[in-house]
């Protein structure tokens, strides 16, 4: 404790007593010497009292400074002969404990918020008032890389609408939402929410840009709209034919027996087309609904295949097409849904009958899969004209046809291979299509022998002259 402070404080406190004694001496009521002695006693007593008090205050100041330098260290002990100093130190200790508790709470809260920020699947960018990227979460880092940090937001997102909105928020405007398209590395539809923070953070962040990728949602929306448009078009065509014939039969041809027989046959054909379409649409939605649940029952595949082959034998025979079998193991089993498996084979064999040249054989083969260990490869091979390479990747799309007129003429709905694809996907299998122009087409379905840990084999090297697609 500095001596000067003690002297000044003592002098100040004792000044009233000095003045009183001085007045008494001057007025002659007190002799000089007793007054001097009394003054010295008073000064001594004040100095003693003040020394303890000031000493305690100095220790408190040192203790508080130690806590500020090292907030986590143990609270130093301050004891003084002055009760006021001890009480003050106790209050400071309580304040320190409450302060530490609050800081710990805030640290936990901050760690939680940072973890949430990092784990958010949507990219988040924190921006300062110079529009620089100060921080970003893992999703944004994956999208833009680390080089955007400490640089203008325009380096990551060169989007005039977005940048204008950010500038407006920097200038003090409220939060806003903008929609824009990214063209590289791949085309994406995005929305960005720009929100000002309630207060500027220590590292200068004043606003938050959160991005949301709308690409899948937009694509799904487009697919749904296309599907509805296609399905209604497919239904409307036979329906308008039916309405047309009904009107003709009710009007001009009401008494024409020959026309009636002819038209009724066409009407029946169109009604069956509508029924087939509705049936296929229902199958597709049923399969899609269960697609997340793979089947669990082992099924003897060859029996299912032979049964389907038998039901289609007449149709094949009508086009002079024998159905031949090339079966490696009659007892072969796969984990499958028997009804869906039958529908899958039915669609593939039916297509072979519809699209291959008349008087050629259809071969159904069963052998080990090159794709799944212990799996089976089921092949349906025809000797048709083949499918041009450009069409192969889109064959399993709903309503996609190589030759629409031929498909309609053969009673096709355009949904057969889409159904095949979804059944295979539910079975966690694979579809391969090999086609050579003028030679024919082979659809190969790879199914797993046992569902859970069935391992996939490395993909076989493709034959160079092959026209093939794998899905």
Q: How far is the CB of 399 from ligand ADP (least distance, A)?
A: 8
Rama region for 163: left / alpha / beta (φ>0; ψ in -120 to 50; rest) = alpha
CB of 441 to ligand ADP, least distance (A): 4
Q: State in angstroms the smallest separation of the CB of 412 from ligand ADP.
A: 3
Question: DSSP 3-state assignment of 134?
Answer: strand
DSSP line for 288-351 = HHHTTS----EEEHHHHHHHHHHHHHHHHHHTT--EEEEES-TT-EEE--HHHHHHHHHHHHHH
> Minimum CB separation from ligand ADP for residue 401, in Å?
3
Q: Is the dihedral of CA 258, 261, 264, 269 positive or negative?
A: negative
Q: Which is nearer to ligand ADP, 169 or 231 (CB)?
A: 231
Q: Which helix (H) or strand (E) holds 44?
A: helix 32-69
388 near 463, Cβ under 8 Å? no
Kindly state the tokens that stand for 205. 């962040």
Q: What is the spatial distance between Cα 149 and Cα 137, in angstroms, rounded to a whole number? A: 11
Residues 327/272, Cβ–Cβ less than 8 Å: no
Which residues have C-beta within 8 Å of that of residue 442, sequence separation ≥ 6?
Answer: 379, 380, 381, 382, 433, 434, 435
Choice between 82 and 425, CB closer to ligand ADP: 425
Residue 441 within binding range of ligand ADP, rule CB under 6 A: yes
Contact call for residue 387 and ligand ADP (CB under 6 A): yes
323 is a contact residue toward ligand ADP (CB under 6 A): no
- Start-end of H helices in 120-191: 138-144, 153-156, 160-170
Site for ligand ADP contains 82 (CB under 6 A): no
Nearer of residues 250 and 390 to ligand ADP, judged by Cβ: 390
| CA–CA dist 248, 260 (Å, integer) | 9
Q: How far is the CB of 160 from ligand ADP (least distance, A)?
A: 44
- With respect to ligand ADP, which residue has the nearer C-beta, 336 or 415? 415
Least CB distance to ligand ADP at residue 415 (A): 6
Identity of the residue, 126 or 352, whose beta carbon is nearer to ligand ADP in the bound complex:
352
What's the closest the beta carbon of residue 295 comes to ligand ADP, in angstroms?
A: 22
Distance CA 321, CA 400 (A): 25
Smallest gap from Cβ 413 to ligand ADP, in A, equals 5
Q: In whole angstroms, what is the distance from residue 55 CA to residue 77 CA?
A: 14
The answer to whether 378 and 301 have CB atoms below 8 angstroms apart is yes
Does position 422 bind ligand ADP by CB under 6 A?
no
Interacting span for ligand ADP (CB under 6 A) from 257-265, 325-333, 370-378, 382-390: 382-390
Q: Does 352 bind ligand ADP (CB under 6 A)?
A: yes
Query: Do 174 and 198 touch, CB atoms closer than 8 A?
Result: no
Of 351 and 444, the one with the shorter C-beta distance to ligand ADP is 351
Question: Of these, 416, 427, 430, 447, which contacts ligand ADP (CB under 6 A)?
Answer: 416
Provide CB contacts within 8 A for 234, sequence distance 6+: 277, 399, 413, 414
Residues numbered 272 to 291 that lie near ligand ADP (CB under 6 A) are: none
Shortest approach of ligand ADP to residue 326 CB, angstroms? 17
CB of 237 to ligand ADP, least distance (A): 14
Q: Interface with ligand ADP includes 351 (CB under 6 A)?
A: yes
- d(C-alpha 147, C-alpha 151), whole Å: 8
Least distance CB 347 / ligand ADP (angstroms): 6
Residues 6+ apart with CB under 8 A from 4: none
Interface with ligand ADP by CB under 6 A: which range of 4-12, 253-261, 302-310, 346-354?
A: 346-354
Question: Binding segment for ligand ADP among 8-16, 65-73, 103-111, 381-389 (CB under 6 A)?
Answer: 381-389
Contact segment (CB under 6 A) with ligand ADP among 198-206, 256-264, 334-342, 344-352 equals 344-352
Residue 382 makes contact with ligand ADP by CB under 6 A: yes
Q: Which residue has the tokens 């920020």?
A: 117
Q: From the CB of 408, what's the least distance to ligand ADP, in Å?
A: 8
The answer to the question of residue 384 lying near ligand ADP (CB under 6 A) is yes
Q: Which position among 323, 414, 447, 454 is part of the footprint of ligand ADP (CB under 6 A)?
A: 414
Cα–Cα distance measured from residue 362 to residue 76, given in angstroms and rounded to the nearest whole number: 94
Decide whether 211 or 469 has the Cβ nearer to ligand ADP. Answer: 469
The 3-state DSSP class for residue 425 equals: helix
Structure tokens at 276: 């087939």
375 binds ligand ADP (CB under 6 A): no
- Can you tell me which of 56, 238, 412, 429 binds ligand ADP, judged by CB under 6 A? 412
3-state class of 371 per DSSP?
coil
Task: In whole angstroms, give the CA distance from residue 181 to residue 57.
Answer: 66
Residues 390-409 that bind ligand ADP (CB under 6 A): 395, 400-403, 407
CA 366/CA 347 separation, integer angstroms? 17
Q: Give the footprint of ligand ADP on this chain (CB under 6 A).
A: 347, 351-352, 355, 382, 384, 387, 395, 400-403, 407, 412-418, 441
């Amino acid at each position: 404790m500095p001596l000067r402070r003690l002297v000044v404080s003592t002098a100040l406190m004792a000044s009233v007593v000095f003045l009183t004694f001085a007045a008494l001496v001057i007025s002659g009521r007190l002799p000089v010497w007793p007054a001097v002695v009394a003054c010295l006693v008073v000064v001594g007593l004040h100095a003693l009292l003040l020394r303890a008090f000031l000493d305690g205050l100095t220790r408190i100041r040192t203790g508080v400074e130690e806590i500020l330098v090292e907030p986590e260290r143990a609270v130093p002990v301050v004891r003084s002969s002055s009760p006021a100093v001890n009480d003050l130190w106790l209050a400071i200790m309580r304040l320190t404990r409450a302060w530490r508790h609050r800081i710990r709470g805030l640290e936990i809260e901050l760690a939680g918020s940072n973890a949430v920020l990092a784990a958010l699947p949507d990219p988040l960018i924190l921006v300062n008032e110079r529009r620089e990227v100060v921080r970003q979460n893992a999703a944004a880092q994956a999208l833009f890389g680390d080089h955007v940090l400490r640089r203008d937001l325009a380096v990551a997102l060169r989007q005039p609408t977005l940048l204008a909105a950010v500038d407006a928020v920097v200038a003090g405007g409220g939060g806003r939402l903008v929609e824009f398209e990214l063209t590289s590395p791949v085309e994406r539809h995005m929305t960005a929410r720009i929100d000002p923070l309630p207060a500027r953070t220590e590292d200068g962040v004043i606003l938050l840009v959160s991005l949301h990728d709308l690409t899948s949602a937009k694509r799904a929306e487009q697919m749904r709209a296309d599907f509805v448009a296609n399905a209604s078009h497919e239904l409307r065509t036979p329906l308008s034919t039916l309405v047309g014939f009904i009107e003709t039969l009710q009007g001009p041809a009401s008494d024409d027996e020959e026309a009636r027989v002819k038209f009724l046959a066409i009407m029946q054909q169109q009604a069956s087309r509508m029924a087939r379409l509705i049936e296929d649409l229902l199958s597709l939605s049923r399969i899609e609904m269960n697609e997340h649940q793979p089947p669990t029952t082992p099924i003897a595949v060859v029996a299912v295949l032979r049964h389907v082959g038998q039901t289609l034998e007449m149709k094949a025979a009508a086009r002079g097409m024998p159905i031949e079998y090339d079966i490696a193991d009659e007892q072969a089993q796969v984990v499958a849904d028997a009804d869906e498996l039958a529908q899958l084979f039915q669609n593939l064999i039916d297509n072979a009958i519809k699209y291959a040249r008349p008087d050629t054989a259809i071969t159904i083969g069963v052998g080990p899969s090159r794709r799944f260990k212990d799996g089976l490869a089921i092949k349906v091979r025809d000797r048709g004209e083949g499918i041009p390479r450009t069409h192969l990747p889109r064959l399993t799309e709903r309503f996609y046809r190589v030759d629409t007129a031929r498909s309609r003429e053969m009673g096709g709905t355009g949904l057969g291979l889409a159904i095949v694809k979804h059944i295979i996907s539910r079975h966690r299998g694979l579809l391969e299509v090999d086609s050579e122009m003028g030679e024919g087409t082979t659809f190969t379905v790879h199914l797993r022998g046992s569902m859970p840990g069935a391992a996939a084999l490395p993909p076989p090297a493709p034959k160079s002259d092959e026209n093939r697609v794998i899905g």
